[in-house]
Copies of this chain bind each other. A is one copy, B any other.
Amino acid sequence: MINYAGSLDLVFQALADPSRRVMVERLSRGPASVSELARPLAMSLPAVLQHLHVLEASGIVTSEKVGRVRTCRIEPAALRTVEQWVSERRSSWEHRLDRLGDYLAEQPDEANYGREP
């Protein structure tokens, strides 16, 4: 059962770990097997598998097993939900700053530093 939407909690949590980000970076260059993902990481294979589970639970990565090798790949939809959430908050803040700038520009120039409309 895969979480295509990717709840923000799980997605941010998944990306908070540097090893998992290394895995995502590797996968952004193309699909990879579990052992390929493990190669650059200084940890046991079971540990890598646990990280993979976290990434799959978040919806960032999907995988399928053919024969004895499991091939993993990125699910861009999950990454898009993060991008969107972050960019909405940031641009909300930045547009607010613009509006505040406009407001202050219209006011007489006194003691406005740090004040809010």
Where the two chains meet, the residues of A that have a C-beta atom closer than 8 Å to any C-beta of B are 8-9, 12-13, 15-18, 21, 24-25, 27-31, 74, 76, 79-80, 82-83, 85-90, 92-94, 96, 116
Contact = CB atoms under 8 A, between A and B. Distances in A.
Task: List the number of copies, as a whole number.
Answer: 2
Contacts of A74: 89-90, 93
Contact of A29 (B24, B29, B80, B96): B96
Contacts of A16: 9, 12-13, 16
Nearest to A96: B30
A76 B86 CA distance: 10
Contacts of A96: 28-30
B76 A82 contact: no
Nearest to A10: B16
A18 B24 contact: no
B27 A93 contact: yes
B83 A31 contact: no
Contacts of A31: 116
A92 B29 contact: yes
